[in-house]
Amino acid sequence: GAVVSQHPSWVICKSGTSVKIECRSLDFQATTMFWYRQFPKQSLMLMATSNEGSKATYEQGVEKDKFLINHASLTLSTLTVTSAHPEDSSFYICSAATYEQYFGPGTRLTVT
């Protein structure tokens, strides 16, 4: 139980385009979903917290207009990286939470 999926697992896009990453809780309903990014050899940095049906709460320094988060249902949250730039290349991980957080497998984004 407590399986979280992410799609796509990896994506390459051109600079200036937008990319959408999906996070799904497959066998449970998540009241809260979190989005993290991880740079090579660094820690997981929380980007934002989203609750179903309400606006996401962004961490300091994260541009909410650039990283659009939609939490349309208790099993689906999406992260859209708008007007992507090479510095947005990173590993993005979501987690879905009831009491504990369960992590997805991550999405590798490469912006060329």
Residues in contact with another protein by CB under 8 A are: 4, 6, 31-32, 34, 41-46, 49, 91, 93, 95, 97-106, 108
Minimum distance, C-beta of residue 16 to another protein, in the bound complex (Å): 26
Nearer to another protein, 49 or 82 (CB): 49
Query: Which is nearer to another protein, 77 or 95 (by Cβ)?
Result: 95
> What is the nearest approach in angstroms of another protein to the Cβ of residue 19?
17
CA distances from 43 to 36, 60, 92, 97 (A): 10, 16, 12, 20
Angle at 15 between CA 13 and CA 48, to 5 degrees: 80
Residue (of 73, 64, 61, 57) closest to 22 by Cα position: 73
Q: Which two tokens stand for residue 8?
A: 């796509």
Q: Which residues pair with 90 in a beta bridge?
A: 109
Smallest separation, CB 63 to another protein (Å): 19
| Euclidean distance between CA atoms 110 and 14, whole angstroms | 9
> Closer to another protein at the Cβ: 89 or 103?
103
- State the nearest-atom distance from the C-beta of 13 to another protein, in Å: 18
